[in-house]
Amino acid sequence: MSVIGRVLSISSLRQARMGSFLVLIALASIGSYAVLDTNARQGGITGQTQKTTNAGCSCHCSSANSATSVGLTTATTIFYPGTSATFTVTVSNSSEAGGGIDIAAYSGSLTAGSGLYLSSGELTHSSPQTFDASHTATWQFTYTAPSTAGWDTIYATGNAVNLNGQNGNGDCSDKWNWASKYIIQVLPQPRRLALGRPSIAFGQLRVGRRKADSLLVTSTGTFSITINSEAMKTGSQLGYVAPGSNGRTLNAGASEVDSVIFAPTSRGTFSDSLIFTTNSDTIPDQRKGIAVSGQGIQAVFSSSSSTLAFGNLRMNQTGLLPLPFSNTGDDTLFLQTPTISGSGFTISQQPHVLTLPPGIWDTVIVQFAPTSRVGYTGTLSFAALNGVTTPSIALSGNGVAPQVQSTTPALLGSVRVGQPLQGTITIKNTGNDVLHITSPALTQSGTKFTLGTYDATIAAGATGSFHLTYTPTAEKTDTAALQFTSDDPSSASVSITVLASGTLPHMLLGEIDTVVIGQVKVGGLVTRDIAIYNTGGADLTLNAVTVSPTPPFTVSSQNYVTAGGTVYATISFSPASVGIFDGVFTVSGDDPKYPTESLFIRGSGINSALSITPATVSFGSVAVSKTAFDTILLSNSGTASVNILGYKLSSYAAFGIIDSSVHQIAPGATAKLVLSFTPAGPIAYNGTLTLTTDEATPTRVVNVSGIGVKGALSVLPSSIDFGPIDTGMSSTMTVSVHNTGTAAIQISGISINPTGSAFSYTTKTTLPTSLAAGDSLDADVTFAPRSGGEQIGALSITLADNTTSSVALHGSGVVKASSNSVRAEDAILTGLAIAPNPSHGSSTCTLTLARPDQVHLAVIDPLGREVMVQDLGMLSEGSHQIELTTPGLAAGVYFVRVECAGAPSMQSQFILER
């Protein structure tokens, strides 16, 4: 919200003498007020050059006058970025007494000399300067060129005046003129760089050696140049040593010597560029470079293979393998005599020569002679001079012979008596040559074991098998011996003990006598697992697993039990009535000794009985947004626990379950279920609570109801207009506050706004108070004006929830004439008007003062609150216009009140429309 306007003192303008003063009133939150400046010469002139205007110094005359001459001179002819020069500016006119000046630059900066000062980025005179004998005024200033090259302009406007302190009443008795625009070209600073040679070629250099060369770098411009040198990409091969850090400065005409280094670490031709970047003003000199190249040379040892593998070789035999090698590099290879490490290997023939020029080859011959049945490894090593890398040749070979490996005793396993068992005995050749088996035979008592096929030849590292058949005649373990011969030199004759067993099944139950299943709820189901063990060595077949009577008993089971294993028969008990039930569980199988086993079983049927009290729940009347609680009692009078599977409310808007954690009630026990009721509005609520149980009748329904009640505040009348009341008198009217709702309301307080106004109230009720449904209280409102004029306010009733109801108050104070009244001839504020009214966002407030005084203005809303205030300061006599703009106010009725120090205020109503 702001008020922006202009205060124009009509009578003050008539009385002001020539050479008027500048009046400026600033309104902090409302806006700004301004009066035209009619004399700007004494403090200088700004904004009058051709940089910002084409009107010139229009306060003296609207047109330039050629009788006034304005000139700009300097001794400098070349400008570079950031350089400075001293300028002389003159103003001449043969018919005037003195002059003033305004100087501006387009982009450069200005520094004031004597008689000048900097104002708003321009130079102007601190006071008019008297012309010398040649009718000329002279000033000097410093101009500094901008930081970048380009074009700039200096502007000057001079004024020749008669020094009478007036503006000539616009008759052009004071004369001004423009100086010719001073055009400046800001040239780039000439920075140049020259390199002493276009390239550096190092030629051939052996790997591991180092060679350096130099480069002359010269600054050939007229200004110093900044140099940055980039490292070469090849890094350790081609290097660069600068005489200083990056960003170093080389003065004009100075030189530096840079070092370039070639130190090859590998063979190959290397090329790179040494790059210099500068701050030169020319593009070719901003990035310059020279080509750098060199070739690294070295001998290279190359062999036909990195390994010599002799493979398998019979013990005490020998084998030879050659290893050709050559120099594939571009430098001479100097070798030392090769050596061998590792047993079993020797050099049969050394190389013919040890100095190999590029492209020459030779051969070394290695011998392998194993003495045992193991793997052999060794290394053929070469050594070279001049840092040449030579490989190590891996040597390998195996001494071979067969070897038999067997395990005794050999377990064929077990089989049911009278049935055959196919068995296998495995042997392994752990040697590294072929194993041969001959003359296998079985030694035993009886004929339970028979020999079948076998593997007569077994490869190195492979396994072979003897196939046997075993048929037992009794439940016992039988033994035999398998014998054979081989060509293993350390194990020519082998004997393996063979074991096998005949087995039978044996059935055993995990329970004895009677199995008590326990109590089960009618309609429910319980299971009991009975273990069936097979303690024999053969698999057990179950011919039948039964239970009687059916119902209430049933049984399920597997029909097979592995040797030494266990299966479970599951007995199910589901009674249809209350009582004790007895039955028999029977198992029969192929156990030759105990083919049948039986158990007695017993179970009891029980039941629950759930009752709910009360059958319906009524919460009655509950205040809106308040919460009431009620309890339901759940009782179980049966012999079995009742399980509550779920609770569900049909209406979640008002009713709720506080605790639904009870899900089981033991026989004879009770539990509580707490419900809540929180009405959202003044209406009747109905719902149902559904319990789902595991009883025969699974669903139970409880009806739930309640009524929401709410208080409602009614204030009559909604507004009071007291009309005109004499100051010093009062008038009282009654406001009735009534609760028209269905529940009590809490009134926390009553107040008058604004505080300290002409309105007040009294009530016989002590606050805060509770107002029951249908009750009311009265508040007497009194209007006692202390000054004349229209006055507004509001009576506010505040509830406990901080909501407020208001009664608009209005009245007019009437000041009657008396000996103490302000006389008409002593009145200060004599008129107040607002137009247009109604307003659509902007109006003009016109006020008239009989004499100068301090003035205060306020805009007041219908509740008597000052929404905009401002001290207008000291205003002169006469009429003043204030422009009112109200962008932030809502449409409605407002009042403008104007007050003067020591005098009655005036107030006027205006209507704001949007």
DSSP conformation letters of 769-831: EEE-TT-EEEEEEEE--SSSEEEEEEEEEEETTS-EEEEEEEEEEE----TTSPPGGG-SEEE
At residue 494, the pLDDT reads 93
- How many CA atoms lie within 13 Å of 735's alpha carbon, on the beta-carbon side? 29
Low-confidence ranges of the chain (pLDDT < 70): 1-42, 57-60, 167-171, 235, 652, 816-827, 862-863, 901-904, 914
The three-point CA angle 446-452-458 to 5° equals: 130
Give the contacts of 483 (CB within 8 A, at least 6 positions apart): 439, 440, 441, 442, 443, 493, 494, 495, 496
In a 3-state reduction of DSSP, which class is residue 405?
Answer: strand
- How many CA atoms lie within 13 Å of 443's alpha carbon, on the beta-carbon side? 8
At residue 816, the pLDDT reads 67
Note the pTM of the prediction, 2 decimals.
Answer: 0.35
DSSP assignment of 218-235 equals EE-SSS-EEEEEEPPTTT
Residue 841 carries which side chain, given as an amino acid letter?
A: G
Q: How many CB atoms lie within 10 A of CB 507?
A: 23
Query: What span, in angstroms and rounded, lies between the C-alpha atoms of 93 and 101?
Result: 13
Which residue is associated with the tokens 């339901």? 632
DSSP state of 384: B
Q: How many CB atoms lie within 10 A of CB 364?
A: 23
At residue 183, the pLDDT reads 95
Helices (H) and strands (E) in the chain, counts: 2, 75
Residue 728 carries which side chain, given as an amino acid letter?
A: G
Query: What span, in angstroms and rounded, lies between the C-alpha atoms of 110 and 736?
Result: 77
DSSP assignment of 682-707 equals SSEEEEEEEEEESSSS-EEEEEEEEE
DSSP lists the bridge partners of residue 625 as none
Q: Tell me what percent of the chain is helix, strand and coil, each rounded to the nearest 5.
A: 0, 55, 40
Nearest to 29 by CA among 843, 885, 853: 885
At residue 731, the pLDDT reads 81
Residue 793 carries which side chain, given as an amino acid letter?
A: G
At residue 16, the pLDDT reads 31
Encode pLDDT of 420-431 as tens digits: 999 999 999 988
Nearest to 515 by CA among 590, 447, 598: 598
Query: What span, in angstroms and rounded, lies between the C-alpha atoms of 449 and 440?
Result: 14
Query: What span, in angstroms and rounded, lies between the C-alpha atoms of 72 and 156?
Result: 8
Long-range contacts (CB closer than 8 Å, 24 or more residues apart) made by 289-292: 290/195, 290/197, 290/198, 290/199, 290/200, 290/215, 291/198, 291/199, 291/200, 292/199, 292/200, 292/201, 292/202, 292/232, 292/238, 292/260, 292/262
Query: What span, in angstroms and rounded, lies between the C-alpha atoms of 426 and 428?
Result: 7
Dig out the tokens for 70 from the structure. 């304005």
What are the φ and ψ backbone dihedral angles of 630, each rounded to 5 degrees? Answer: -145, 155
Which residue is associated with the tokens 């130190």? 263
Q: What is the dihedral of CA 643, 646, 650, 651, to 10 degrees?
A: 120
Beta-strand ranges (E) seen in 417-476 are 421-429, 435-444, 449-454, 457-458, 463-470
CA distances from 649 to 6, 7, 657, 689, 703 (A): 71, 74, 8, 5, 10
At residue 817, the pLDDT reads 52
Give the contacts of 792 (CB within 8 A, at least 6 positions apart): 808, 809, 810, 811, 860, 862, 863, 864, 895
What is the phi-psi region of residue 808: left when phi exceeds 0, alpha when psi lies from -120 to 50, beta otherwise?
Answer: beta
At residue 397, the pLDDT reads 94
Nearest to 756 by CA among 786, 778, 735: 786
Which residue is associated with the tokens 């035979």? 441
Contact between residue 103 and residue 123 where contact means Cβ atoms under 8 Å apart: yes
Q: What is the dihedral of CA 108, 110, 111, 114, to 10 degrees?
A: 150
At residue 61, the pLDDT reads 76
What is the phi-psi region of residue 660: left when phi exceeds 0, alpha when psi lies from -120 to 50, beta otherwise?
Answer: alpha
Beta-strand ranges (E) seen in 252-391 are 255-262, 268-278, 287-297, 301-303, 307-314, 319-327, 333-334, 339-341, 345-349, 355-356, 361-368, 375-381
DSSP state of 350: -
At residue 26, the pLDDT reads 28
Contact between residue 40 and residue 100 where contact means Cβ atoms under 8 Å apart: no
Q: What is the dihedral of CA 55, 57, 59, 65, to 10 degrees?
A: -90
Q: How many CB atoms lie within 10 A of CB 910?
A: 19
At residue 103, the pLDDT reads 96
Query: What span, in angstroms and rounded, lies between the C-alpha atoms of 733 and 781?
Result: 5
